[in-house]
Structure 1
Amino acid sequence: MSHQAQFDFRDAAALFFAAENFFGKKNLAEKLDVDRKTLTRWRKEPHKLPTTRQLALRELLRSVPKQDVSDTEFTFIDLFAGIGGVRQGFGGVNGRCVFTSEWNPWSQMTYKANYGIEDIEGDITKIQARDIPNHDVLLAGFPCQPFSIAGVSKKNALGRPHGFECTTQGTLFFDVARIIQEKQPKAFLLENVKNLVSHDKGNTFKTIRAVLEEELGYHVRTKVIDAQHFVPQHRERIIIVGFKEQTGFSFDDLELPDSGPLLGSILHPEDGTESVEKDYTTGVKAKVNAKYTLTDKLWAYLQAYAEKHKRAGNGFGFGLVDEESVTRTLSARYYKDGSEILVSQGKKRNPRRLTPRECARLMGFPPEFEIPVSDTQAYKQFGNSVVVPVIEAVARHMKPHIAALKEYERTGALQQPLLAGF
Structure 2
Amino acid sequence: MGQLSFYEFFAGGGMARLGLGDGWRCLFANDLSESKAQSYRANFGGEDLWVGDVHDVAPAMLPGRPDLVWGSFPCQDLSLAGSGKGFGGSRSSAFFGFMAVVTALRAEGRAPRILALENVCGALTARGGRDFEAIGRALSLAGYRFGALVIDAARFLPQSRPRLFIVAMDRAAAPPPELVGDGPEDGLVGPWSPRALLAARAGLDEEVARDWVWWRLPEPRANIPALASLLEDEPSDVRWRSRAETDDLVALMAPLHRARLAALAAGGERRVGTLYRRIRPDGAGGKAQRAEARFDGVAGCLRTPAGGSSRQILLEVEGGALRSRLLSGREAARLMGLPDDYRLPARYNDAYRLAGDGVAVPVVRWLARGLIEPLLDVSAGRRLAG
CA offsets 1:240-295 (integer angstroms, 9 cap, x no match): 00111221344323222377333123123x4xxxxxxxxxxxxxxxx344942124
Which letter maps to 2:112? P
CA RMSD in angstroms comes to: 3.2
2:45 to 113, 116, 123: 116
1:202 to 106, 129, 145: 129
**2: CA distance, partners of 1:343 / 1:320:** 8
CA offsets 1:172-203 (integer angstroms, 9 cap, x no match): 11111111112210101110001100111111
Residue in structure 2 matched with residue 79 of structure 1 by the alignment: 9
Q: Residues 148 and 165 of structure 2 are in contact (CA less than 8 Å); yes or no, is this contact kept in structure 1?
A: yes
Residue in structure 2 matched with residue 262 of structure 1 by the alignment: 226
How far the C-alpha of 1:140 sits from its partner, in A, is: 0.7
Which structure has greater strand proportion?
A: 2
Summarize the Cα distance change of 1:408–1:344 in structure 2 as closer, same or farther, 3 Å threshold: closer
Question: For residues 251-400 of structure 1, what are the structure 2 equivalents within 5 Å?
Answer: 251-257=215-221, 260-268=224-232, 270=233, 287-289=234-236, 291-296=238-243, 298-307=245-254, 312-313=282-283, 317-320=290-293, 325-333=297-305, 340-346=312-318, 347-397=320-370, 398-400=372-374
Which letter maps to 1:328? G
3-state DSSP of counterpart to 2:321: coil
Which letter maps to 1:75? S
Summarize the Cα distance change of 1:294–1:311 in structure 2 as closer, same or farther, 3 Å threshold: farther
Instruction: Work out whether 1:103 is the aligned partner of 2:32.
Output: yes
Instruction: Work out whether 1:127 is the aligned partner of 2:38.
Output: no
Summarize the Cα distance change of 1:334–1:357 in structure 2 as closer, same or farther, 3 Å threshold: farther
**2: CA distance, partners of 1:385 / 1:321:** 23
How far the C-alpha of 1:352 sits from its partner, in A, is: 1.7
Residue in structure 1 matched with residue 258 of structure 2 by the alignment: none
2:71 to 140, 144, 166: 140
Gaps of 5+ in 2: 78-84, 106-110, 181-214, 256-278
Q: Residues 319 and 327 of structure 1 are in contact (CA less than 8 Å); yes or no, is this contact kept in structure 2?
A: no
Summarize the Cα distance change of 1:362–1:409 in structure 2 as closer, same or farther, 3 Å threshold: closer
Summarize the Cα distance change of 1:259–1:197 in structure 2 as closer, same or farther, 3 Å threshold: farther
Summarize the Cα distance change of 1:333–1:292 in structure 2 as closer, same or farther, 3 Å threshold: farther
How far the C-alpha of 1:126 sits from its partner, in A, is: 1.5
Which letter maps to 2:119? N
Q: Residues 253 and 291 of structure 2 are in contact (CA less than 8 Å); yes or no, is this contact kept in structure 1?
A: yes
**1: CA distance, partners of 2:383 / 2:238:** 57
How far the C-alpha of 1:139 sits from its partner, in A, is: 0.5
Which letter maps to 1:257? R
Residue in structure 1 matched with residue 375 of structure 2 by the alignment: 401
Gaps of 5+ in 1: 1-70, 150-167, 271-286, 413-422
Which letter maps to 1:343? L
Residue in structure 1 matched with residue 205 of structure 2 by the alignment: none
3-state DSSP of counterpart to 1:344: strand
How far the C-alpha of 1:97 sits from its partner, in A, is: 0.4
**1: CA distance, partners of 2:281 / 2:121:** 29
How many aligned residue pairs are there? 303
Query: More displaced, 173-182 or 193-202?
Result: 173-182
Question: For residues 57-68 of structure 1, what are the structure 2 equivalents within 5 Å?
Answer: none
Which letter maps to 1:74? L
**2: CA distance, partners of 1:143 / 1:351:** 31
How far the C-alpha of 1:235 sits from its partner, in A, is: 0.5
Q: Residues 129 and 178 of structure 1 are in contact (CA less than 8 Å); yes or no, is this contact kept in structure 2?
A: no
Q: Residues 72 and 403 of structure 1 are in contact (CA less than 8 Å); yes or no, is this contact kept in structure 2?
A: no
**1: CA distance, partners of 2:355 / 2:86:** 26
3-state DSSP of counterpart to 1:351: strand
Residue in structure 2 matched with residue 247 of structure 1 by the alignment: 175
Which structure has greater helix proportion?
A: 1
TM-score normalized with structure 1 length: 0.64
Summarize the Cα distance change of 1:311–1:216 in structure 2 as closer, same or farther, 3 Å threshold: closer
Residue in structure 2 matched with residue 158 of structure 1 by the alignment: none
Q: Residues 330 and 341 of structure 1 are in contact (CA less than 8 Å); yes or no, is this contact kept in structure 2?
A: no
Summarize the Cα distance change of 1:137–1:337 in structure 2 as closer, same or farther, 3 Å threshold: closer
TM-score normalized with structure 2 length: 0.70
Q: Residues 142 and 172 of structure 1 are in contact (CA less than 8 Å); yes or no, is this contact kept in structure 2?
A: yes
3-state DSSP of counterpart to 2:97: helix
3-state DSSP of counterpart to 1:196: helix
**1: CA distance, partners of 2:98 / 2:306:** 29
Q: Residues 319 and 339 of structure 1 are in contact (CA less than 8 Å); yes or no, is this contact kept in structure 2?
A: no
Residue in structure 2 matched with residue 90 of structure 1 by the alignment: 20
**1: CA distance, partners of 2:95 / 2:58:** 15
